[in-house]
Amino acid sequence: MGKVYLVGAGPGTVDLLTLRAARLLARADVVFHDALVDDEVLALAPQARKVAVGKRCGRLSTAQQFINRQLVDAAQRHACVVRLKGGDPMLFGRAQEEIAALSGAGIEVEVVPGISAAFGASAALGQSLTRRGVSRSVAFLTPAVGQGEQPHAWADAARGADTVVLYMASRQAQAIADGLVAAGLPASRPAVLVENASRPDQRVLPTTVAGLPAAAGELGDGPALILVGEVYAELVQDACRVALQDRGLRAAAA
Amino acid sequence: MGKVYLVGAGPGTVDLLTLRAARLLARADVVFHDALVDDEVLALAPQARKVAVGKRCGRLSTAQQFINRQLVDAAQRHACVVRLKGGDPMLFGRAQEEIAALSGAGIEVEVVPGISAAFGASAALGQSLTRRGVSRSVAFLTPAVGQGEQPHAWADAARGADTVVLYMASRQAQAIADGLVAAGLPASRPAVLVENASRPDQRVLPTTVAGLPAAAGELGDGPALILVGEVYAELVQDACRVALQDRGLRAAAA
């Protein structure tokens, strides 16, 4: 019987993997990976068979039960099986379902943490999630609405937190803005959209809660985070200043 | 002029640093590090001068302004200065004050993310912070009370979140339990204390919100996290079952 490692692949850039993740990939026999995991990351596992198993916001994805069965099968035939997940496995990663399936089949599981997108984005922005006198709490949430639930139930977690990070949310930006305002956040609160956090093609769109739908319209099809909080006030002010200068230059030229 | 890298050292175990962090340490001229950073981690920077600059819960720490000045001075004399912070620099790390001081002095700063303790603890526990049908939001907060604030103001962020992680909180466990109950959390909600998350000397103490003060009394003097949420229900049940079995064995032996 082999062992399965649920490994965080981090926000996308290969050198943001942990040393432990890289060492495990180097000796993996099989790697099951999310569609979002980069080729450069997979190149760390030269001798492994690579199997793409979903999941990508709005794209075709492999059913969770089928992934679970593939992991169990692989562990029965190989010593070192790596299940590579974007970001950290324990935040919005469906890790518990895979751990339960493997443990239930008597297979040993070890989880290796990874850099979640919010931390990759914060580093790239140079903006701390918390800041003395401004923010000392952060909520990480995803707005997917379950059957029979109130439409804005997800927004409860945003109410009391100083900084809010929304995962898998950018394609429903109007519902997000509505939900945040319904939860009591001011429509003017600074917000930032970050697409492809930490990658060379990263894009940063500073706005406000009310401006989220318009800003989201500018996004490409990479994974994007929504960050909301007074910690982004300067970033938004700077963006406004640049926009005003541009307009001033155009006015002067006209 | 040199460049300063604010680098996350992760939860403590050396191989949970990122590849980028290890590469920067290898070429660092000076490393300014928190007291909590391990010797094994510092050994990744063989040629660097190492300067300990605080901070350790309840211990002597270097004033932030003095750290800022030391960083500016070092960048004026060395090409590669690393400021190594436990966990991730952008979560409860006072990074913004250092970034502002360095930028103000015209010094380039780059932030390298790290694995925050909550992710190290979740991996070691094998318990996801989020779980389908149980938790889809997580609040990270620290309970330090500012001057003139309501005693339980910090607990607002815990109210709407499914899972709550409290940093730098274990030495005030009674106030935490009181604050969480005042915020509307049931006293019976499962909770876990994790000391020295991800290290060989890690300790896990499953309990409930009401049981936090008693459990915290069992802690040593390592850094500890408090995790609260229904995702820890099984962990608490298992601990109770073991305790009952122990009592049964003792009763049978008597």
Give the closest of B8, B130, B141 to A91, CB-based. Answer: B130
Sorting pLDDT into bands at 50, 70 and 90, what band is A32? very high
Question: How do residues B124-174 score in pLDDT, each as one tens digit?
Answer: 999 999 998 899 999 999 987 656 667 678 898 999 999 999 999 999 999
Question: How do residues A127-158 score in pLDDT, each as one tens digit?
Answer: 999 998 899 999 999 987 666 667 678 898 99
- What residue ranges do the domains of chain B occupy? 3-112, 117-240
Query: In whole angstroms, what is the distance from residue A182 CA to residue B68 CA?
Result: 41
Cβ pair B53, B16 in contact under 8 A:
no
The CA-CA-CA angle for residues B40, A124, A192, to 5°, reads 140
Q: Is the pLDDT of residue B57 over 80?
A: no
B171 touches chain A (CB under 8 A): no
Domain A3-112 is in which class? alpha beta
Bridge partners (DSSP) of residue B5 are: B82, B110
Query: In whole angstroms, what is the distance from residue A126 CA to residue B109 CA?
Result: 8
Decide if B55 is catalytic.
Answer: yes
Query: In whole angstroms, what is the distance from residue B244 CA to residue B231 CA?
Result: 22
Amino acid at B25: L
Which of B68, B125, B138 should one mutate to test binding to chain A, selecting the residue with the greatest count of A CBs within 10 A?
Answer: B138
Tokens, residue A178: 């509505």
Tokens, residue A94: 């469906």
- Of the candidates A85, A88, A168, A178, the residue annotated as catalytic is A168
Query: In whole angstroms, what is the distance from residue A238 CA to residue A244 CA?
Result: 10
Phi and psi at residue B145, to the nearest 5°: -100, 125
B116 touches chain A (CB under 8 A): yes
Bridge partners (DSSP) of residue A193 are: A205, A226
**Averaged pLDDT, A160-176:** 94
Chain B positions touching A146 (Cβ under 8 A) are: 133
Which of A185, A138, A178 shows the shortest CA–CA distance to A159?
A: A185
Going by C-beta distance under 8 Å and a sequence separation of 6 or more, which residues neighbour residue A201? A195, A222
Query: In whole angstroms, what is the distance from residue A53 CA to residue A51 CA?
Result: 6
Give the closest of B19, B91, B128 to A22, CB-based. Answer: B19
Q: What pLDDT does residue A152 have?
A: 77
Topology at the third CATH level for domain B117-240? 3.30.950
Question: How do residues A180-221 score in pLDDT, each as one tens digit?
Answer: 999 999 999 999 999 999 999 999 999 999 999 999 999 999
Cβ pair B114, B81 in contact under 8 A:
no
Give the closest of B126, B137, B158 to A109, CB-based. Answer: B126
Phi and psi at residue A53, to the nearest 5°: -125, 50
- Measure A75 CA to nearest chain B CA, in Å: 18
Which of B46, B40, B1, B203 shows the shortest CA–CA distance to B121?
A: B203
Other residues' Cβ atoms within 10 Å of the Cβ of residue A57: 16
